[in-house]
A and B are shown apart, each in its own frame.
Chain A
C-alpha cells in the first residue's frame, strides 16, 4: 500500500501525525512530510484511521 496526500487539500491540521507518527510529520514550517510512503501492513489500521480522521480528507491509500 502507498500513502497518497492531496496537498491541494492538506492544511496541516496534524491529526494524521497524532494518529500515525510513523508515517506523518508536520514540522515547524507547518508543512506535512510523509515519512514512509509505503508503510508496512502492520500500520494499515493506523493509516486507515488517519484517512478517516483527516479534517480536510486529504489522505488516501493506493494499492499497487
Chain B
C-alpha cells in the first residue's frame, strides 16, 4: 500500500512540550484524522522550566505548571496513553509497541521522547540524592529542602544553577561542585563563565570549580559528597545536574538511524518513511548555521514540534527546512540570562552594552567573520533585536555596527 499523503492516524510518542506542540500544529493545520499520544508520566503535558524555580520554591502549586487547561486539551481530540512507555518501533509494519504489550498502528509517527538526566554511580542508592526532570523529581526535592540545611549541587550548568538559586532564596546553604574550571566552560569563554559564577558567589554559594565527585557518603540517607581528593562536602540533600541523554533506548531495534539522538534530515524527517522527530531527542542539520545539532531548549521543543508536524503533512516537494535561531533563557536570583544562536569557547566575544561587572550586558559572539550568538544578562529588549540579525547571517562587523547605532 502506498503511504497516504495525508495520514489517517498520527501517533505522537512523548507527551511533553515537543509532543504537545506537534499535536496542536497538526490540528491547526486542519488534520482531522485520529491523534494518539503516549506519555511516560501519568500527567497531561506540563511545563518544565518552573520546576527549578517557581514550583521548587513553593510559589506555585504544581497545577499552575500545566501547559493547557482541560478544555484546551479536550478540544484537541487526542487519545492519551499516559503512564505508558513505548518499548519498540517497527518501521516496516508501522507499529509502536507499548509497555503493556499493546501495538499501536500509525500512518504518521512523531518521536518526541526527549531526554533523561544522566545519573552518577551510587546516586540512586541513597535517599536524598535527586535529579530534576519531572514534576515528581521537583516535589521530592521541594519536600527535602523543607527540612534541609545543606544542599550540594553537582554540576554548575543551567539546571544546577537554577536549583542552587532557588535553594538560596529558601535560605538553604548551598555548595555547587563543577568539574570544569569555570561554569559552562564548554560553551562560553572563561570571562562569561566567571560572570555566571559571580551570580552565585554574590549570594553566598560555595562554588567549587575543577573538582571531581568520587562518590556519596551516608547510610540509607545521604550525608555528604566525597570528592576526588578524598575530602567530603557535607550535605543532607544532593541534586545532580550533569546533563541529559536522549531517550532512544526503545528505538534501538527499530533500524532508525541513531547517533546521540534520532538522526533527522533538514526537514525533521527520520530515516524511516512517515516518521519525524522533534525536541531534545532530534539531531538534525540546521542549515542556518551549517551545523548538525541537538537542542535541549524549551523554544526548540515548541518550534521543532510544529515543524515536524508540518513535515508529516507535507506532500512531495513541499517539505521545508527547519532552520531556527536557537534560544534559551535562565532566571537566577534577579538576573535573566538569555542566549540566542550558537556559541563555543573559542568564539570572539565583544561586550556591546553594559558590563560584566554590573551583571547587565549584551555580548556578541563572532566566528569566521559572522555573528553566531548573543548573550545577555538582564537586557531582554536589546538582546531580542539580534534574532533577526542572526537569522539573516549578518557579518560580525555589521552586528557590531548595529550595536553602536541608536535604539
Contact = CB atoms under 8 A, between A and B. Distances in A.
A53 B303 contact: yes
A11 B381 contact: no
B341 to A, nearest CB: 14
A28 B353 CA distance: 12
Interface residues of B, number: 22
Nearest to A52: B302
A32 B21 CA distance: 25
B47 interface: yes
A14 interface: yes
B302 A18 contact: no
B286 interface: no
A15 B327 contact: yes
Nearest to B382: A28
B85 interface: no
Interface residues of A, number: 17
B64 to A, nearest CB: 9
Nearest to A25: B381
B302 A11 contact: no
Contact of A26 (B49, B298, B381): B381
A57 B45 CA distance: 13
B119 interface: no
B384 A18 contact: yes
Given A11-B336, A53-B299, A53-B303, A30 B47 contact: no
B319 interface: no
B331 interface: yes
Contact of A17 (B331, B338, B384): B384
Interface in B14-50: 21, 24, 47, 49
A12 B384 contact: no
Interface string B288-332: 000000000011001100100000000000000000000101010
B370 interface: no
Contact of A14 (B24, B47, B67, B383): B383
B387 interface: yes
27 contacts: A11-B329, A12-B380, A13-B329, A13-B336, A13-B338, A13-B380, A13-B384, A14-B380, A15-B299, A15-B384, A17-B381, A17-B384, A25-B381, A27-B381, A28-B381, A30-B336, A30-B378, A52-B21, A52-B24, A52-B302, A52-B306, A53-B299, A53-B302, A53-B303, A55-B298, A55-B299, A55-B329
